[in-house]
Structure 1
C-alpha cells in the first residue's frame, strides 16, 4: 500500500459543497479535503487529469474524486467523463452520490427487501412498486434500483404525466429498465392507483403528506410502504420517521430515520473503503445498493 496521504476532491455543479458530505469525508478519516463549486460537465476531465498526474502512479490510487450536486443524470454523466480520463497506471477512485441520493435510494430499497422477506416469495421480483415523488433525485434512482431488482415499477407524478415520462425515457436509455408512468393529482386518483400496489415509496418534498390515511386504507394488496420525509407531516400517514415495520391497515411502514441510519452506514463505509483501498474504485448507486443489502440482512 502507498504511504501517500489520501486526498478527497469534492466537485459539485452547485454554488456550495454539501456540508453533510464534507463531514462524512472527515468522519471516514480524510484529513485533506478540497472542494470545487459550479463544476460543469466540460470541466470534469481537466480536473480529473490534474488530480491524476500530480501524484506518482503508485500514489494516484490514494486520490478520490467525489461527485455531488442535485441532479442524478448530471452526476452520472460527470462520473462517466471522469472515468473516461483514467488509464493505467494513473487511476484514481470515483464516488458519485449527489445529495446523498444514491446511498439513500439504495438504503430505501434494501430496507423494503428486508420487510418483504417472508411476505412475498421472490422479494422484489415481479412486485408492483409505485414511486411517488419520482421526479426528484432520490425517487428516480429508487425506481431504477427496484426495476433492476425485478420489480414492476410505476413512477407517479402529482402534476402532469409528461414529467415522469421524460424521466422514464432517460432511465431506459441509461439503464435499460422499463418504468411505467402515472399521474395522481388528488386522493381520488391515488386511491384508484394504490389498489394495485405491493410496495409504495414516497420520495416527495419535506413536510408533504403524499399518502393519506384514507388512501392507505384502499391499498388492499400493500405489503410495505417506505418514506424518506423526516419533516412532519410524514409522507405516509401512520409512518413516522422512526417507523421500522410499523403495522398499517395493510402491510408495514418504514420511516425516514430507519432508512437514514442505513444510508449513513453505507456512505461512511464506502468512503472508508475508498480511503483504504489498494486499488482505484468506481462507486455509484449499484455498489451502494449491494452494501445496503448486506447491512440490511
Structure 2
C-alpha cells in the first residue's frame, strides 16, 4: 500500500477494476430492502446499508466515502439517502453535503420512501397525457413524502393552484410551509377528514393525484365519476383497496368516465426504470446531487 498525492490509500496494482460501491444511508432503523434490490439492478456492484442515521452520526461515514479513492476513481463511490421520513432525509442530505469540499465529494441521491421517483414518474405520466399549466390540481393525502413532492412538481409545471389535503389542517399547513421553504412554491392546505370532504376538495379540480397510505381508499367512484371538471388522475396506491375507487392499479392512461387515469402499477414501470437510471447515473461522476428537481427532469426525458 502507498499514500497517493491526494492523501488516499491505494494498492499498487495495475489494471485494477474499481467496484461501484453504493452506501445506503437510511434514517429508519433498518435500510429498505426495496431500495437495496433496485440499487443492484441499477448497476451497483455492492450495496452497504447503514440504518438509524442522523445528521449527528453520518459524518464519519461520509468521510469514509470521500477520502479513500483517488479523484479519478471517486465516481465509483456513491451515497443513496432513504427512509420513511422525507424531512429527516432532507436533513441528512444537508449534513452529507456539509462534509464535501473541493473534489472530496461523491454523488448523492435522495429518495426517502421512494418519494422523488414515485412522484416524478406519476407527474411525468400526467404531463404526457394532458396539460398541467393553468390547471387546478389537488393532491389527496398530500402531507406524506410522495404527496409533498408531487405537489411541488405540479406547481413547477405551471399549475394555477395546487392544494394538498390532510385530515389535519395543521399538518397540511406545515407541509405547505416545508415545501415553500425548500422549493419556493405556494401550495394551498385543505382539511378533508373523510371521503365526502375529499370529494368536495376536488369539486373544481382538473387534476387529482392520490398519495395516500397503502390500502386506504381516499375517494369512492361516486366522488369523481360525474365531476365535469376532472381531466387527469393518478393514484400512487397499489395495495387494495386502492386510493381512487372505480379505477384500476394497472391503468395506463386509461379513459374512465372521460378522465385519463394512471394507476400505481401503470406508472410504476416508469418509477422502477427511473430509480434504476438514477442509480446508474450516480456512477458517471462524483459531483451529482439527485433530488426532486434532477429526478423529475430525468423522468420527463424517460416518459
Fold agreement, TM-score > 0.5: yes
Distance of 1:288 and 1:13 partners within structure 2: 20
- Any residues of structure 2 matched to 1:169-208 within 5 Å, and which? 169-208=177-216
**Alpha carbons of structure 1 residues 36 and 279: separation in structure 2 relative to 1, 3 Å:** closer
Distance of 2:96 and 2:275 partners within structure 1: 20
Give the gaps of 5 or more residues in structure 1.
117-122
Find 2:90's aligned residue among 76, 93, 96: 76
Distance of 1:188 and 1:35 partners within structure 2: 43
The answer to whether residue 301 in structure 2 is matched with residue 294 in structure 1 is yes
Distance of 2:268 and 2:39 partners within structure 1: 17
Aligned residues: 287
Secondary structure of residue in 2 paired with 1:29: coil
- Any residues of structure 2 matched to 1:1-297 within 5 Å, and which? 3-116=17-130, 123-151=131-159, 152-157=161-166, 159-275=167-283, 277-296=284-303
Distance of 1:170 and 1:278 partners within structure 2: 30
Distance of 1:282 and 1:138 partners within structure 2: 19
Distance of 1:14 and 1:33 partners within structure 2: 17
Give, in angstroms, the shift of residue 137 of structure 1. Answer: 1.2
Distance of 2:194 and 2:72 partners within structure 1: 58
Give, in angstroms, the shift of residue 192 of structure 1. Answer: 2.5
- Tell me, yes or no, if the aligned pair for 2:139 and 2:164 is still in contact at 8 Å: yes
Find the counterpart in structure 2 of residue 120 from structure 1. none
Q: Give the number of the structure whose alpha-carbon radius of gyration is greater.
A: 2
Give, in angstroms, the shift of residue 37 of structure 1. Answer: 1.0
Q: Deviations over 1:173-193 (max 9, x none)?
A: 111110001112234323332
Give the gaps of 5 or more residues in structure 2.
1-15
**Alpha carbons of structure 1 residues 186 and 250: separation in structure 2 relative to 1, 3 Å:** farther
TM-score, with length taken from structure 2: 0.90
Give, in angstroms, the shift of residue 131 of structure 1. Answer: 0.5
- RMSD in angstroms over aligned alpha carbons? 1.6
Distance of 1:270 and 1:288 partners within structure 2: 7
TM-score, with length taken from structure 1: 0.92
